[in-house]
Homo-oligomer: A and B are copies of this chain.
């Protein structure tokens, strides 16, 4: 039906959102058009403005409204530590912990040999260059704990260690707040191997 065309287009457009299927997209479209027109307009305009003004930091690839992001230019942050992550959202997550005061580098992906994604397809060379800057004393690998994330971490660690850089990796272990009976056995096994001495 002709009157559905625009709404159907909106449903299709909403399906690009992560974990939004046809049913959720339909619910969203009707909700926006009926209940929240003002807010929907605000959403559309904010999205357009953000797409226009937010780019990737020239130095670390993090999202930024400036050419170089606030973390990179911040002289109060510890320039001796460089944390390597996959995507800008990982920087956001780490920043939220408020327990890291160093710098970042965003790979914009991870190695995935099975999908044909090699070092040339992510910012590997730029990461290498950044890691070898003289002020960097420690590179912290914070890629994800999936097969690809681990592959990426080991690959980077191997190269950097050979160049004499001190490399560390985020600890694996039992997530905060969990009871052992609900934790998967690989996590428990790893937490056992990496157990810490209590002074």
Contact = CB atoms under 8 A, between A and B. Distances in A.
Interface of A: 1-3, 5-7, 9-10, 13-14, 16-19, 24, 26-34, 36-37, 39-51, 53-54, 63-66, 69-71, 87-89, 92, 95, 108
Given A18-B31, A70-B2, A51 B47 contact: no
Contacts of A41: 47-48, 51
* Number of copies of this chain that the complex holds: 2
Interface centre among A26, A48, A95, A108 (most CB of B within 10 A): A48
The dominant DSSP class at the A interface is helix
Contact of A16 (B3, B40, B49, B87): B40
A90 B187 CA distance: 46
B54 A47 contact: no
Given A44-B44, A44-B48, A63-B30, A6 B54 contact: yes
A13 B65 contact: no
Most buried by B among A18, A19, A40, A50: A50
27 contacts: A1-B70, A3-B65, A3-B69, A3-B70, A3-B71, A6-B50, A7-B50, A7-B54, A7-B63, A9-B46, A9-B50, A13-B42, A13-B46, A13-B47, A14-B43, A16-B32, A16-B40, A18-B28, A18-B31, A30-B89, A33-B88, A34-B88, A40-B51, A41-B51, A44-B45, A44-B47, A44-B48
A5 B63 CA distance: 11
B63 A33 contact: yes
A44 B26 CA distance: 16
A89 to B, nearest CB: 4
Contacts of A66: 3
